[in-house]
Amino acid sequence: MRPARALINLEALRHNYHLARERHGGRAFAVVKANAYGHGAVPCVRALAATADGFAVAFIDEARELREAGITAPILLLEGVFEAAELLEASRLGLWPAVHHAAQVEMIEKTALPAPLYVWLKVNSGMNRCGFLPGAVRQAWKRLVVSGKTQHCGFMTHFARADEPEAEATAAQIRIFDEATHGLPGEKSLANSAAILSCPNAYRDWARPGIMLYGADPLPGEDAGLLPVMTLESRIVAVRELAAGQPLGYGARFVAPRPTRVGLVALGYADGYPRATPDGTLVAVDGLFAALIGRVSMDMLTVDLTDLPEAGIDSTVELWGERIPVGTVAQSVGTIPYELLCNVKRVAFEWHG
């Protein structure tokens, strides 16, 4: 069997959820959209089911999967619904749709529902991606209440720059949100992971931690006490000696500067390890640091074993996890850990804890 695996530590996931909720206070939706950021939504949600106050996914198909797995906790639909039929299903399944634009309000007004909905009105407090402008919030809220189709209307917003604690932008978004919702009843939810870790002013009734649940710190250079959840690893399946001057792999991106012992690892970009990863990016071979060399192929990649004489065929290679923070790999590729984690596929998943 091909040795490429993603090991998912559910104990670490629970630890991180508790840390997020303790830090914020109140309740917390565990954000498990995109297959729990690539970690496997159903096993992750089952691991949190006894403790989590609720879950958040992007859209209804992701929520249906959780209901079918027997999850009864509240599930927030962060993107809301796309058509009226989904409102019916949301009502039947007890899902909590976000309402972020006028067409969704209209859909609610026009659709006969089996039971009133628990909705979250999304305020555009400055990210300008989705949500009602501050001046339109009261009217949208009123329409939802008058429609008689809602049993509760909470208010949420999302931050554009919470991962830059020094930026004024988040404080401004909070002020705008508070003004727009002043005096309106209903629960509030502002904070994503970065705001949970850096912005107590954003704490309200519900937090929405995502990336921090998976142990990746949204604020670079800070140690918040999070534990990595996914270890992406494979094994060395072949070893080769290169003479100085010999090229390695596609495009001959790497040319051996010295006699070089190369380990071939059974994992590639089709498994989610980015093709753009540069030479020199760290991996851990049997627990010891080594460097990626040569361009990552679809199914394979190559590492420098020259300084690790003990390493050889069958040595375990960690691409990220306990020893190599996924954030470090993301940084060297010029992306964020979110993208790396939710792109993991094709490898064998093993959940434990």
Ligand X SMILES: *Cc1c(COP(=O)(O)O)cnc(C)c1O
The interface mask with ligand X, positions 62-81, x = CB under 6 A, is ----------------x---
For ligand X, give the closer residue by CB, 134 or 218.
218
What's the min distance (Å) between Cβ of 7 and ligand X? 21
Q: Of these residues, 17, 33, 37, 188, which one is catalytic?
A: 33
Minimum separation from the CB atom of position 24 to ligand X (A): 11
C-alpha to C-alpha distance for 353 and 179, rounded to whole angstroms? 44
| SS3 category, 84 | helix
Residue 215 DSSP code? T
Choice from 4, 8, 13, 31 touching ligand X (CB under 6 A): 31
Round to whole Å and give the CA distance between 189 and 185: 13
158 binds ligand X (CB under 6 A): yes
Nearer to ligand X, 56 or 266 (CB): 56
Answer yes or no: are the C-beta atoms of 124 and 102 closer than 8 Å. Answer: no
| Comparison of 208 and 295: residue with beta carbon closer to ligand X | 208
Q: Among 210, 228, 268, 325, which residue sits at the site for ligand X (rule: CB under 6 A)?
A: 210
3-state SS class at 54: strand
Query: Under the criterion CB under 6 A, does residue 24 sit at the interface with ligand X?
Result: no
Q: Is 352 buried (19+), middle (13-18) or exposed (0-12) by CB count in 10 A? A: exposed
- Select from 58, 48, 40 the least CA-distant residue to 20: 48
Give the separation between CA 195 and CA 163, rounded to whole angstroms. 7
Contacts of ligand X in 167-206 (CB under 6 A) = 192-194
Annotated active-site residue 250? The verdict is yes
Cα pseudo-dihedral 64, 62, 87, 115, rounded to 10: 40
H helix or E strand, kind and range, residue 290: strand 288-292
* Sign (positive or negative) of CA dihedral 180, 182, 188, 193: positive
Examine residue 315 and tell whether it contacts ligand X (CB under 6 A): no
Given the complex with ligand X, which of 9 and 193 has the nearer CB atom?
A: 193
Residues in 1-20 at the binding interface with ligand X, rule: CB under 6 A: none
C-beta closer to ligand X: residue 126 or 294: 126
CB of 159 to ligand X, least distance (A): 9
Query: Is the four-CA dihedral 310, 311, 313, 315 of positive or negative sign?
Result: positive
57 is an interface residue for ligand X by CB under 6 A: no
> Considering 37, 110, 118, 250, which one is annotated as catalytic?
250
CA distance 246 to 337: 33
Q: From the DSSP assignment, how many helices (H) and strands (E) are in the chain? A: 11, 18
Contacting residue, 208, 235, 261, 295, with ligand X by CB under 6 A = 208
Q: What's the min distance (Å) between Cβ of 139 and ligand X?
A: 22
Give the shortest CB-49-to-ligand X separation in angstroms: 19
CB of 13: closest distance to ligand X in angstroms?
A: 14
Chain Cα centroid distance, residue 78: 13
- Residues at the site binding ligand X, with contacts judged by CB under 6 A: 31, 33, 78, 158, 192-194, 208-211, 218
Q: Which residues are catalytic?
A: 33, 250
